[in-house]
Structure 1
Amino acid sequence: MNIDLHGKTALVTGSTEGIGFGIAQGLARSGAEVVINGRSQTKVDAAVARIGGNARGIAADLGTIEGHDRLVAALPKADIVVSNLGIFQPSDFFDTDDATWDRHWQVNVMAGVRLARAYLPGMAADGWGRFLFLASESAFNIPVEMIHYGVSKTADVALARGLAKRMAGTGVTVNSVLPGPTLSEGVEAMLEAERAKSGKPIEDVAAAFVQQHRSTSIIQRAASVEEVANMVVYLASPLASATTGAALRVDGGVIDTLM
């Protein structure tokens, strides 16, 4: 299987580190011209430098309309869009105020809505395109400690399905990808205190976390960033032309349903 994305421009939001950076790196290695996005110009520049020659960056906060407009002005068209930007904040339902709900909605949902409105028409006009939403296993397994986050990710899955139907017959596919616990920089930071306390490798600490808090995991460990990125790179390629409207899991088997 040869994934060749030469001649394609790919935008990956929230891609200065973590899963987003892994996706951008994977797309670049497959030949795409990759556009890195993040809020900090310094972090954007550093990520671009790590990827190398076929990458450039746009610093913009896509959780705001102003940031969205800035990005689209700098990049009016893209062949591949990966709406990866997302935030999470553990908080009990009864302590979670409207501002927290709205911030999660703006960043996790509306940022993708705006990108779809901006880029899908151009893809349809060209007769080819790939639009991907990074959802989460939390879309189906709503976490009791952050219901607001789970609801936003369920919305991403529904949005991808609806947009896939809207783009029927255009040559444009729209899908969502559902990672499970993934050993990104953010998760490493969350587990650092336990790693320092136990003295164990971070992979072992992450595996223990998965076994305790995501006990339905079949692989019984955290996925790597690269494992999630591999699924996205495939879906962004011409090889995935018959896959659209799907919610594809890279969750290690955490979601305990057949469908």
Structure 2
Amino acid sequence: MDLGITGKTALITGADSGIGWETARQLLDEGATVFLSDKDGDSVAEAAARLDHQDRVHHAPADVTSVDSIAALHRTVQEAVGEIDILVHSAGVTGAQGLFHEIDDKGWVDTLEIDLLGAVRVTREFLADLRSGGWGRLVYLTSEDAVQPYDDELPYCAAKAGVLALSKGLSRSYAGEGLLVNAVSPAFIHTPMTDAMMTRRAEQLGVGFDEAIESFLGEERPYMELGRRGEPEEVASVITFLCSDRASFVNGSNYRVDSGSVATI
């Protein structure tokens, strides 16, 4: 299927692994030029080197907690590829964990700085690019946690709910200019983030890694009817669709890629 994005230029944050990297791979396969960014310069360079179509691959580090760093990224992007047509904001962390009474202000602030305000800063910096050509796509990675919060990671849940609200609000502001804004909400995907979660769980329970996953699915995510972690490419395929001409009437939506994990309609 021709997605109509040959020749478009995409910036992907949080692109050194997992969903961000797989999205880069799929957009490249569809003919887009892709600029990868992540906080660690060496890591994102290594990630970029693993991709095909190297003539259309670019990369640079950026810290989403820093306005100056994001502005520097924008200058680098403009020098390398010009204005972007597509922004996929995937950068984020699990953040502070524990029950509400166990998390102090710093835990909340640090999580919100990256997961919510990071999205705000990146969007603000690149919004003019996305509005300029009469055709733009902005996709945020949120989470099942945005609509189904869990009591042991409330800062992350609140941040992702904020990103979901940001996405919906922006979709009303700029659609008339051709900029479509949507969100994708995965659940328990096979990424370095969930690897770290399951490693901690295995240590806490005194079990193996696979057993930690199995117990997590049974005890914490009972509505994931497929009974496994999702794969990054399964999320990236939805993102890639939303970045395409095929999604020309999709705006302000939240696509759940969660194996049924969210228990409501």
Does the pair score TM above 0.5?
A: yes
Distance 1:211 1:2, change over 3 A: farther
What is residue 39 of structure 1 aligned with on the other side?
Answer: 39
Instruction: Write the letter of the residue equivalent to 1:64.
Output: S
Distance 1:30 1:208, change over 3 A: farther
Pick from 172, 184, 192 the counterpart of residue 165 of structure 1.
172
Q: Does 1:78 align with 2:79?
A: no
Map 1:220-239 to 2 at 5 A.
220-239=227-246
Deviation string 1:20-67 (CA, Å, 9 cap, x unpaired) is 111111111211111111111110110110013021111111122222
What is residue 26 of structure 1 aligned with on the other side?
Answer: 26
Map 1:135-174 to 2 at 5 A.
135-174=142-181
Identity of aligned residues (%): 30
Deviation string 1:139-158 (CA, Å, 9 cap, x unpaired) is 01111001111000000110
**Which residues of structure 1 form unaligned runs of 5+?**
none
What is residue 190 of structure 1 aligned with on the other side?
Answer: 197
Deviation string 1:49-105 (CA, Å, 9 cap, x unpaired) is 001302111111112222212211212421110111011132221121222211211
**Which residues of structure 2 form unaligned runs of 5+?**
none
Q: Distance in 2 between matches of 1:39 and 1:50?
A: 18
| Paired residue secondary structure (1:16) | coil
Q: Distance in 1 between matches of 2:94 and 2:105?
A: 15
Q: Distance in 1 between matches of 2:180 and 2:72?
A: 25
Q: Distance in 1 between matches of 2:118 and 2:207?
A: 39
- Residue range with higher mean Cα deviation, 65-74 or 234-243: 65-74
- Residue range with higher mean Cα deviation, 50-59 or 184-193: 184-193
Distance 1:188 1:124, change over 3 A: same
CA RMSD of aligned residues (A): 2.0
Deviation string 1:99-124 (CA, Å, 9 cap, x unpaired) is 22112112111121122222223222
What is residue 12 of structure 1 aligned with on the other side?
Answer: 12
Equivalent pair of 1:181/1:210 in contact (CA under 8 Å): no
| Paired residue secondary structure (1:145) | coil
- Residue range with higher mean Cα deviation, 158-167 or 90-99: 90-99
Cα offset, 1:236, TM superposition: 0.5
Aligned pairs, number? 256
TM-score, with length taken from structure 1? 0.92
TM-score, with length taken from structure 2? 0.90
